[in-house]
Each structure stands twice: as C-alpha cells, then as structure tokens.
Amino acid sequence: MHHQLHEFAECPKYQCSKFLLGEPLKETLRDGESEPFWLRYITERISTQTIANIGLLRVPGNQRRITKIVNSFSKDETILENDGSFTDADFCTSLKRLLRFLPEPLISRHILDALLDIAYDYSQTGGDTVIHEKMTATLAKLAEAEKTTLEALIGFLRSVAQKTTQVFFN
C-alpha cells in the first residue's frame, strides 16, 4: 500500500508542479512563521511603485530569471538575494506561476511524505492509537498551512487592489 501511494506522488502532474516550483514547499511553514516563506519572499520583493505604475500582472518577466527565482526555492539551492539583476516584473511573474498551480502546491512534499509514512505505519500495526494521533497532528499542520497560505495571498492581493485603486483615483 505504501509503495502504491508513493507511486501516486511521483505522477507526471505532481512532478511538473514540483519541477516548476523548484519544490518551494519542502517545509510549507518554517518554524515560527505564520505564512509560507516562498510567498513572503516574493511579495516582499515586489515594490509598491511597480504595482502603482504598471500593474501587478500585466508586464511579463524574463523567463530565464523567473526560472532562477522559482528554482531557488529548491531544497538543494540557496535562496537567491536580489542583486539588482531581477526586476519587479520577474517577481510578479514568479508569483503568477505559483498562483496558476494553487491549491496543489499548498501540500508540501514534506507533509505528503509524512502522510505516506504514517499511512504505511498505520496499515502495518493494525490501527495503533499513537500512529492515529500522529496522523491527526500532521493533517492539522496541513490544514493550518493551507489556511495561512491563502490568508497571506488574499491579504497581499487585497493590498495590491487598494493601492491600484488609490493611484487610479488620485
């Protein structure tokens, strides 16, 4: 059973999303943080000036730089620092890439692997209570990760809409 579930995790659709996002959600919420690192990292780098002047979703970024941004979230890469070679449009387009695959990327590989391991252990023990409690805690973490991700994303888009409206009417 564990092997079959693991094969599902390796399906082409999952790999496509994993590759595209560079596995940014290895740990959806880092210790002590209330929203996903990848979302905060990208939204903090999009300047309010860009939003006011060109709009968040209208100007495409450079594909090579976008791929570098997205892939920098891989567990094997270091998060890149913006040395000035990345434009706001690059970060905006990276955010659009993440949005296109919601809600799939809300389920991190780390959480998925934990669920697969728990399900396997549970099936091997015939229903041990400790394993059941562990599974419940993992599912609660997943629910919290999805909730905080969507709240952070909606909050960011709401602030974009407010700033754009202010600029439009001023």
Query: What pTM was estimated for this model as a whole?
Result: 0.54
Torsion angle in degrees (nearest 10) through CA of 141, 146, 147, 150: 160
Share of the chain above pLDDT 90, in %: 0
Question: What percentage of the chain exceeds 70 in pLDDT?
Answer: 58
Give the three-class secondary structure for 65.
helix
Residue located via tokens 């252990």: 121
| Mean pLDDT, rounded, for 8-24 | 37
Query: What pLDDT, on the 0 to 100 scale, is given for residue 104?
Result: 61
In order of their start, the domains of the chain are: 2-168 (1.10.555)
Rounded to the nearest angstrom, the gap between the alpha carbon of residue 97 and the centroid of all alpha carbons in its chain is 10
Amino acid identity of 82? N
The string of pLDDT tens digits covering residues 94-111 is 888 777 766 665 666 677
Is pLDDT of 161 > 50?
A: yes
DSSP state of 27: T
Which pLDDT score, from 0 to 100, does residue 34 have?
63
Give kind and range of the element (H or E) at residue 145: helix 129-169
